[in-house]
A and B are shown apart, each in its own frame.
Chain A
Amino acid sequence: MSAGNGFDPRSASYLDSIEVVEVQRGPDPGGVGGAYRAFGETLRGLKTTMARLIEGPMTIEYPEEKTPVYPRFRGRHKLHKFEDTGLEKCVGCSLCAAACPADCIRVVAAENIPGDRVSAGERYAAVYEINLSRCIFCGYCEIACPFDAITMGHDYEMADYDRRDLIFTKEMLLAEPVERTPLKSEGE
């Protein structure tokens, strides 16, 4: 190192230029002061837990008591009929199946026979199956449907012992579902 660059780590100007950063440390543990502080903090902790005791449990005892869901909650699907004519809204267009990212909807369409109409349109869904073990409950089918024939319900209790029982047929989807799930009230 030549003396020409003027750098000297011991020079006063260099030492002045260093910014001394105070490292924040916690209070020194131990000693009588520490014991006194620990005692105070313990009392504070005891107060905190006692406040929780007074607040009471927040548990929702599930099988007996259910969390209310929001109106737009996406639960199990429902297929709909027209209330006046009793005809199915689904016309078997398979748009829901096309929109489904999990590929869990299977639709086989058939022509309506005049006099024995099943749906309001030209065709109807002869087979309409949703494999609920695959469904991701995204609600795209509901959005894709041009006739609001399929909507997402509020039922989320779909556990079953057999995977085959999770393939829901048209009859099961059309049936009036048991409303087991409470709905959230306004402002809840």
Chain B
Amino acid sequence: MPGVRLDGLNKRFGSVAALRDLSLDIRDGELLALLGPSGCGKTTLLRCVAGLSRPDSGVIRLGDRDVTDQPPRTRDVGMVFQGYALFPTMTAAENVGFPLESRGWSGQRRRERITEMLMLVGLEHAALRYPHQLSGGQQQRVALARALAARPNVLLLDEPLSALDALTRTTLRDEIRRIQLKVGMTAIYVTHDQAEALAVADRVGVMDQGRLIEVGAPADVYRRPSQRFTAAFLGGRTMLELVVDAGSRVAWGDAFSIAAPYPPGTRVVAAITPESVRLNPADGIAGRVVLASFRGSTIRLQIETDLGEIAADVAADSAGAYPAGAAVRVSVAMEAVQVFLADGT
């Protein structure tokens, strides 16, 4: 039985289609991350599941219940909002207790559950603090505890970490995943941050212009995207517009040449991940480093060639070898090149 089943959802806001014939099954206990650029419809989808927006057509099932026409309060979901949406006049404990109070939990049982949830998110010491007395990370932990308190069937997370600093994001991201695995709850996690989506999810769904264009395991979606949009959106790939040659091959100078499943003359896009670019090989095309940006364990180089610009990652300890302006030769690991139709998705 799926945890969530969405069937043919459509939603328009005036002339803008926010969801287009969107269908999706999420397994019980699975965490699915919805990834896409701003305005792709991922938050609209989450709001439809929560009952905060009503789809124009389609069916939403939570477990075996059709909840399409039900109000949010009867859907049995827990939701974590981007801006936390904690109740400012309630303490952390009262915030966590609110869904229990709404669902008629008795006093003693409620108190025990509040303590349990605050311990789960490591905030038992802050039970009596008001939201304005908590840091952003602590507020989001309270929001998570509140969303989980009444044991909902589905947990919905709408860009839960976007307002936090980088360190807190990483810590809390891992914590959300740990807690989700511990309670075994079906969850939908909306984000525009690919690192976040790939790190927390069992599966990643990529959305574009109201459509769910690809769903798969994080490693599959990252390494072998089936859609051009996904390839461009994930992994910082360079997208090279090329034409299939007379020998049905796609080539970028001497950097790579691979067989293409399209007839000669077809306009295609070759997607190349920065980590598959090799520098200073025996062959390849000549280029010049125009920008080197430090990324921790790697350095991202932007290399300008006569045939266009390409991004390449090199180990951080070799940064000294590639200062801006350095001359390099570039080739690409052929097995890493993916080719898509230029006019397709």
A is bound by B: no
Residues of B participating in the A interface, judged by any CB pair closer than 8 Å:
none
